[in-house]
Amino acid sequence: MNTGGDRSITWTLLAALLLQPVTASAAAGTEPVGEKMEAESKRASDSEVVDDADASGGQAVSNGKAWQPLVSVAAPAEGGDRLTVHVRHRGGPLLMKAVMDGKQVDRKSIFAKPEAWTWSSFGTFDRADLGSAVVIIRGAGDAPVAVDAVVFAPATGEKSATPKPQAAVPGVDGPALPAEAMEKSTEKTMPPAAPDASLAPVTFSATINWNEVVAKAQPTIWGVADYEIKGPKSAANEGYRSFLTKLNSPFIRIHHASLPMAWMTEDEKSWDVEKIKASWAAAGPAYGDAKLMLNLASWPKWMSREDGTLDIQHADAYAQLYVELMRIMRDDVGRKVDFWEITNERDGLYEKRERLPELWQLYNTVAAAIKKEDPNAQTGGPAFTWAKPQWVDGFLKECAPLADFVTYHNYGIGDSYDSNEKLYGTLNTIERHARFMRTAVDRSAPEGKHIPIFLDEYNVKWVWNPIEPRHANSVGAAFQAAVVRRVALAGIDGANVWHVKGNAYGLIDAENVERPTSAMFLWGPQHLVGDIAAANVSFATDADAQAVANADDAEQSPSAPDLVELLPVTGEDGRRALLVISKAPRTIVLQSATSLLGGAPSTVKRVDADGIHDQVELDADAPLTVPGYSLTLLSARS
- For the cut 60, the answer to whether the pLDDT of residue 179 exceeds it is no
Q: Which of 383, 392, 396, 504 is nearest to 455 (CA)?
A: 383
Lowest-confidence range among 17-21, 166-170, 502-506, 507-511?
166-170
Can you tell me the mean pLDDT for 488-495?
98
What digits encode the pLDDT tens for the residues 516-527?
999 999 999 999
Highest average pLDDT, of 81-95, 99-113, 237-251, 548-562, comes from 237-251
Position 129 scores a pLDDT of 82
| Bond preceding residue 93 cis, omega within 30 of 0 | yes
Can you tell me the mean pLDDT for 425-453?
95
- For the cut 70, the answer to whether the pLDDT of residue 162 exceeds it is no
- For the cut 70, the answer to whether the pLDDT of residue 4 exceeds it is no
CA distance 509 to 168: 12
Q: State the virtual CA torsion across 300, 304, 310, 315 in degrees, nearest 10.
A: -60
Position 156 scores a pLDDT of 53
pLDDT bin (cut points 50, 70, 90) of residue 530 is very high
- For the cut 70, the answer to whether the pLDDT of residue 105 exceeds it is yes
Can you tell me the mean pLDDT for 5-16?
36
Position 11 scores a pLDDT of 35
List Cα–Cα distances, 137 to 63, 76, 109, 277, 551, in angstroms. 9, 19, 9, 31, 47
- Residue 547 neighbours by CB distance under 10 Å: 18
Q: Which of 355, 486, 344 is nearest to 412 (CA)?
A: 486
- For the cut 80, the answer to whether the pLDDT of residue 77 exceeds it is no
285 secondary structure, DSSP code = G
Q: Which of residues 477 and 12 earns the better pLDDT score?
A: 477
- Phi/psi at 10 (nearest 5 deg)? -100, 145
Q: Which of 140, 166, 145 is nearest to 61 (CA)?
A: 145
Q: Which of 270, 281, 370, 263 is nearest to 333 (CA)?
A: 281
Can you tell me the mean pLDDT for 409-425?
94
Q: How much of the chain exceeds pLDDT 70, in percent?
A: 89
Position 404 scores a pLDDT of 97
Whether the CB-CB separation of 89 and 117 falls below 8 Å is answered with: yes
Highest average pLDDT, of 11-20, 172-181, 618-627, comes from 618-627
Three-state DSSP class for 94?
Answer: strand
pLDDT bin (cut points 50, 70, 90) of residue 277 is very high
Position 57 scores a pLDDT of 77
- Residue 289 neighbours by CB distance under 10 Å: 7
What digits encode the pLDDT tens for the residues 546-560?
888 877 544 567 899
Position 187 scores a pLDDT of 56
Position 628 scores a pLDDT of 97
Position 79 scores a pLDDT of 58
CA distance 452 to 442: 9
Q: Which of residues 457 and 16 earns the better pLDDT score?
A: 457
Position 127 scores a pLDDT of 80
CA distance 361 to 624: 55
- For the cut 60, the answer to whether the pLDDT of residue 431 exceeds it is yes
Position 16 scores a pLDDT of 36
Position 159 scores a pLDDT of 34
What digits encode the pLDDT tens for the residues 337-389?
999 999 999 999 999 999 999 999 999 999 999 999 999 999 999 999 999 99
- Residue 71 neighbours by CB distance under 10 Å: 26
Q: How much of the chain exceeds pLDDT 90, in percent?
A: 68
CA distance 410 to 231: 27
Q: Which of 588, 596, 589 is nearest to 621 (CA)?
A: 596
Instruction: Return the percent helix, strand and coil in the chain, to nearest 5.
Output: 30, 30, 40
333 secondary structure, DSSP code = I
CA distance 627 to 607: 9
- For the cut 50, the answer to whether the pLDDT of residue 174 exceeds it is no
H runs (alpha helix) in 248-388: 273-283, 315-327, 347-352, 356-373
Average pLDDT, the chain: 87
- Residue 399 neighbours by CB distance under 10 Å: 23
Q: Which of 496, 482, 491, 544 is nearest to 290 (CA)?
A: 496
Q: Which of residues 632 and 174 earns the better pLDDT score?
A: 632
162 secondary structure, DSSP code = P
How large is the C-alpha radius of gyration of the chain?
A: 26
Position 35 scores a pLDDT of 85
List Cα–Cα distances, 183 to 164, 224, 407, 459, in angstroms. 10, 30, 34, 22
- For the cut 50, the answer to whether the pLDDT of residue 163 exceeds it is no
The count of C-alpha atoms lying within 13 angstroms of the C-alpha of 452, restricted to the half-sphere facing its C-beta, is 20
Can you tell me the mean pLDDT for 288-304?
95
